[in-house]
Amino acid sequence: MKKFKYIALSIALIAGLSSCSDWLDVNVDPDNPNSASALIENQLPWVQHFYQYTAAGVDFNTALTSGVYYSNRSQWFLASVTWAFDTSNLTQRANQCWYVYCNSLPDIYSKAEESGSYHYMGAANTIYAMGFMMMLDLYGEIPFRQAWTETASPAYDDGKTIFNACIQKLDDAIELFQREQASGSTSFAGGDYWFNGDAGKWIKFCYGLKARYLLRLSKKAEFNPQEILDCLDKALQSNADNAIGVSYNISNDQNDWYYGDPINANCHFSWVSNWTRSSSATWFTKYYCDLLTNMRDAHVEDPRMTKIIPSTMSNIRLGSSGQVVSNDWQRSQGVDVHEDATRLIEGGGARSLTWHDYVSVDGGKTIAYTIKDTDERNAFINNMAGKQAYTVEGDVVSVTYRKGAIYVNNADYHMAGDTVYTNLLANSAFLQSQDEKDVSWYFDDSDKAAYNAGAVGSTGTYQLRPCSDFELLTYAEMCFIKAEVYLRQNNSAQALEAYKEGIQAHIDMMQNKLQEWQAAGYKNNPDMLPMDQQLITTYMSSDAVCQIAGELKMSDIMLQKYLAMGCSLENWNDMRRFNFSAGNVGSFGVVYPGFDRSPLFQGDSQLPGTSKTDINYWPRRWRLPATIELDYNTNNALAINPHADDNDIWGMPVWWDCASDEEYYNYLK
């Protein structure tokens, strides 16, 4: 893998960036950059960027599998609905992003060591642990000790080896951050994108990561709750300590040479809500939306709901100048994937959900729907009454959508109602050439009629806008980890306190960002305005939040954490730790009630289990990338795991997902 290093580094350094960070424009030799000449203060922020890019792709794909999102994108719908997983739809990009685009970490460490730049060494160790732990979470066994060496076909290491080595990397990083930089060393503030050289925040970050990773061991006898609590005492203590990658919506940005995405924009936006990525889209699932409207069966609306679930303009009326003069805001429904999936089944399958269009022509747009069932035809007509003009002739209902109306351009009447689902799209000023303070997505992309009229197709969602923060680690997550650990120790009083603090911390984090957006002048988007404080107060004292320590359940903690994490690998990791909705881990019962395979499940060959309590009923790892590992490094992959090339490896637990080493190594026989 070493041979890829200099290619990737050279291209990355040549690419350059345009933002408020000076390190993006400096190089020793811009015409001939290489690992020897590149300054570590220039290399580190690029690695931080490409780590975020890798993690964003992983977060998106695992959020599909863990029920946060539904997508009709080519290949990605396999991960969100059918679970007929295919390596081409997710595994190769994550592997390539990490192993190729982050492989200057050894160079950063060695050059920093030569100059006594201990904090760069600590940063390299930290990201090293983050990336390889992520690869372990995904693949189970990967090249680790021989990765980024001169070995063209690196040997694989098992999960236990990798896990323990990553924990050691964090311990080493903590020690390095506690050192004083040597005289003449490189300024850490000049090259640290995440914390601006604040070693104290890096130490908290490392302890927080360690707590996150040690929680992975919850099925094992060696699980040590007190060690996690000790880490949390030294980790993030408030939202002020949150580890985030600040992102910007900049019209004169530069694009990523790898995928054409804007460099300064949030990488989650680039993967999930970027219109230019494909002609299809992504929506929230009903499973996720229901947590925002009916947590704990309380039928109480979460104040975060209107900031997370996107809305679209409906009942648009245009003035004489062609501008929107009145409209309603319609909040999106969630796509039912995991319960009955009625719409997907009736509409033709897993990819059948479509998005809506905007009528830009005078005279409107007429679509003829053939509806042979009398009851369904009458229901369709009643739904159209008073909304759009229509005529009926036998089985055919012809609807004329007026100019400015929102409709689905498909003659299948099942799809006409898809306007109730609003996609997660947002716009980048760099990609869409619109105002930097306007990140709303507009219905059409070619003639810009909707944009010119001011007809918003989606307000987007809090976590996925180009100007959203990239969340690496948050105080809210620390609180939820603490709540889980305390509940495992039967300390329900402190568990309740940490659980409520986690909810409040996430709300406060969102509110701070919403206030920041308001002060910056973001416009045309009511979902970017701050939440009503009274709604927050009411919610926190409602039945949607457990108020009595003796009634607190693990599902209360984990569902609030699931909601707060959103687009995050950690939701899939947590689901694996609790065996999804099998209800057979400890005495915790069903932790994710209602979550199951979709009725459109087609992954029998990938996940052959027939009962929820079967270990391989659920998705537990990714199959290795065929092109990179299974074609060119086959012998090493099969040497560590003879099942690496099997199609049903998707249901094989990784090391930390096993109760014992014996169980894990039996899988590798």
Residue-wise over 569-581: b if at least 16 C-beta within 10 A, else e? bbbbbbbbbbbbb
Q: Which one-letter DSSP state was computed for residue 416?
A: H
Q: Which residue ranges in the chain fall short of pLDDT 70?
A: 1-36, 88-91, 257-258, 276-280, 445
Distance between CA 348 and CA 415 in Å, rounded? Answer: 10
Global pTM reads: 0.94
Q: Is 385 exposed, middle or buried (0-12, 13-18, 19+ CB in 10 A)?
A: exposed
Distance between CA 440 and CA 424 in Å, rounded? Answer: 10
Number of H helices, E strands in the chain: 25, 15
In the numeric block, which tokens belong to residue 154? 């690196």
Distance between CA 202 and CA 205 in Å, rounded? Answer: 5
- How many CB atoms are located within 10 Å of the residue 97 CB? 22
Q: Which one-letter DSSP state was computed for residue 222?
A: T
pLDDT at residue number 21: 39
Rg (CA), the chain: 25
Mention every residue, 6+ apart, whose C-beta is less than 8 A from residue 665: 158
User: How far does CA 26 lie from the centroid of its chain?
Assistant: 31
- How many CB atoms are located within 10 Å of the residue 151 CB? 14
Distance between CA 631 and CA 640 in Å, rounded? Answer: 16
Q: Is 111 exposed, middle or buried (0-12, 13-18, 19+ CB in 10 A)?
A: buried
pLDDT at residue number 33: 55
pLDDT at residue number 628: 73
475-488 helix and 225-233 helix, angle to the nearest 10 degrees: 150
Which of left, alpha, beta for 194 (phi over 0: left; psi -120 to 50: alpha)?
alpha
Beta strand pairing call for 389-393 and 365-370: unpaired
Mention every residue, 6+ apart, whose C-beta is less than 8 A from residue 39: 26, 27, 28, 186, 191
- Within 13 Å, how many C-alpha atoms sit on residue 94's CB side? 29
pLDDT at residue number 246: 96
Distances in Å between the Cα of 550 and the Cα atoms of 381, 488, 504 are 52, 13, 20
pLDDT at residue number 322: 93
Residue-wise over 340-363: b if at least 16 C-beta within 10 A, else e? ebebbbebebbbbbbbbbbbbeee
In the numeric block, which tokens belong to residue 285? 């699932």
Q: Is 257 exposed, middle or buried (0-12, 13-18, 19+ CB in 10 A)?
A: middle
User: How far does CA 238 lie from the centroid of its chain?
Assistant: 22
Write down the domain spans for the chain: 310-458
Contact 332, 344 (CB under 8 A): no
Distance between CA 286 and CA 599 in Å, rounded? Answer: 14
Q: Among 313, 288, 269, which residue's Cα sits nearest to residue 462?
A: 269
Q: Among 368, 371, 415, 366, which residue's Cα sits nearest to residue 395?
A: 371
Contact 564, 506 (CB under 8 A): yes
